[in-house]
Amino acid sequence: MHTILIRNALIVSQDASRRVFRGNIFIEGDHIKDVSAPGKEDGADEILDASNLIAMPGLINTHCHVAMTHLRGFIDDIPLSGFLEKTFRLDAERTDEGMYNSSLLGTKEMINSGITSFLDLYYGEDIVAQAAKKSGIRAFLAWNTLDQDKTTQKGNPVKNAEHFIQEFSKEKMITPAIGVQGVYVAGDETYLAADDVSRRYSTLIHGHLSETREEVYNFVKGHGGKRPIEHLSEIGFLSQRFIAAHCVWATLNEVRMMAMKGSRVSWNPVSNAKLGVGGTAPVPEFVSNGILVSLGSDSTASNNSQDIWSAMKFGSISVKNERWNPAVTNAQMMLDMGTINAAHSLNRSDIGSIENGKLADIVMLDMSTPELIPTTPENAISNIVYSAGTSSVSDVIIGGKFVKRNHRLLDFEPEMFRDANFY
Ligand SMILES: [Zn+2]
């Protein structure tokens, strides 16, 4: 089995006691065999001198639409309603080749920025899966569903999702799941059918929820005063399998309903603010009620970067500012959202931290880049959250394989995308 020794790194472990220490990481095959104090040297097939590197668990992006990466910069500066109208129209005309190329580009961008796992929501996830496998990233892919009369998918969306789950259930790097686009295009029947599939196959269920005030008000008007989360709770949809993206417009009552059912929130602070959804998700209330919160980039059309650095930094800052309180979030809390809490949200105990026996999804940050000087064990977590960026990422290992090495993304040539068909 292939072995890698990461020698003398500053390890930000994200283990149960959140230890930060100097040590070696020994990788065997796809998992971490041993995390030990420096000095204990075993031979390995590859040895990486990490004395100037931070080793941290790979970042986990819990909401995106990676097949839309090619829309970067083309739908900026308009409200969400117009944005959705335009993206729905463009989505309807996609080819398999276009979706593949766009997904390959998006997964490469994520790897470059230190993301080792992502949760995607789209139709055509079988195509996204091929691109993810080519990139070497760990992918959680939720086939999107909506009401039959509102979809451009061929056939029945719930059946399509079920078929996708059956087809990809045995894959190592791909975890199939089901999605629901949102209450504005999916009625109770679709929500309950999707939930039924998710229960029968023990998959995650992922969807947009209470993203804009307009969406919530329209729902309330059509449902006798009931709010979306309140309604989904009443029909029995909320569960531990559900990861809801956004939840910007959740009331305290709705937060408690989600907490009671163990549903999770994927917070997308950059996308939300860029789309001007107003207000900020009630993250302190999510956290104090025990809801698992993780971070998402959302699509490149609304962010416009596939990275978690900006989500950690801007998310934290936006809540501090809104609550007039710099202590309402802290760096450790944000790093937890980007790593271990995201892993738990995905119902996975084998990723999200650097510990013996876990999968080797590891990101190295170069402490000699200007933005990380000075870094010590005392300020490492602050520097990761408030100073690091894609330019700090020197190496990325996913499942025991290097996918970025010495600041260079492997198996990537910009020429690959120069004349590529993205539509
Ligand atoms: Zn989204």
DSSP letter for each residue of 171-238: -SSEEEEEEE--TTT--HHHHHHHHHHHHHTT--EEEEES-SHHHHHHHHHHTTT--HHHHHHHTT--
Mark whether 303 and 394 lie in a shared domain.
no
421 inside domain: no
The pLDDT confidence band at residue 82, using thresholds 50, 70 and 90, is: confident
Centroid of ligand 1 to alpha carbon of 253 (angstroms)? 24
Asked whether the beta carbons of 393 and 111 are under 8 A apart, the reply is: no
Mark whether 375 and 287 lie in a shared domain.
no
Q: What is the mean pLDDT of residues 290-312?
A: 96
Q: What is the mean pLDDT of residues 344-370?
A: 98
Q: Are strands 393-398 and 362-366 parallel, antiparallel or unpaired?
A: antiparallel
* Cα distance between the two ends of the chain: 41
CB atoms within 10 A of CB 388: 26
Residues 6+ away with beta carbon under 8 Å from 105: 69, 70, 417, 420
- The DSSP bridge partners found for residue 36 are 24
Mark whether 68 and 34 lie in a shared domain.
no
Taking the whole predicted model, whether its pTM rises above 0.75 is answered as yes
Could you tell me the CA-to-CA distances from 295 to 12, 359, 410 in Å, in that order? 19, 21, 26
Mark whether 150 and 230 lie in a shared domain.
yes
pLDDT above 80 for 39: no
Centroid of ligand 1 to alpha carbon of 268 (angstroms)? 9
Q: What is the mean pLDDT of residues 138-142?
A: 98
Centroid of ligand 1 to alpha carbon of 212 (angstroms)? 12
What is the percent of the chain where pLDDT is above 90? 89
Mark whether 145 and 52 lie in a shared domain.
no
Mark whether 377 and 299 lie in a shared domain.
no
Q: What is the pLDDT of residues 233-271, one digit of tens each?
A: 999 999 999 999 999 999 999 999 999 999 999 999 999
Average pLDDT, the chain: 96
417 inside domain: no
pLDDT above 70 for 127: yes
Centroid of ligand 1 to alpha carbon of 208 (angstroms)? 6
202 inside domain: yes
Mark whether 66 and 166 lie in a shared domain.
yes
The pLDDT confidence band at residue 86, using thresholds 50, 70 and 90, is: confident
Q: What is the mean pLDDT of residues 41-59?
A: 94
Q: What is the mean pLDDT of residues 126-143?
A: 98
CATH number, residue 382: 2.30.40.10
414 inside domain: no
Q: Give 70's DSSP letter.
A: G
31 alpha carbon, distance to own chain's centre: 21
d(CA 22, CA 380): 12
Domain enclosing residue 379, as ranges: 3-57+357-409
Centroid of ligand 1 to alpha carbon of 245 (angstroms)? 7
Q: What share of the chain is helix, strand, coil (3-state, %, to 5)?
A: 35, 25, 40
> Pick from 345, 378, 399: which residue ends a domain?
345
Neighbours of ion ligand 1 (CB under 5 A): 298
- The DSSP bridge partners found for residue 3 are 28
Asked whether the beta carbons of 191 and 237 are under 8 A apart, the reply is: yes
418 inside domain: no
Q: Domain tally for the chain?
A: 2
| C-alpha closest to that of 356 among 19, 118, 83, 114 | 19
Could you tell me the CA-to-CA distances from 204 to 50, 257, 264, 350 in Å, in that order? 36, 19, 11, 16
Mark whether 318 and 339 lie in a shared domain.
yes
Mark whether 124 and 20 lie in a shared domain.
no
SS (H, E, C) 6-67: EEEEEEECCCCCCCEEEEEEEEECCEEEEEECCCCCCCCCEEEECCCEEEEECEEEEEECHH
Q: What is the pLDDT of residue 40?
A: 66
Q: What is the pLDDT of residue 37?
A: 87
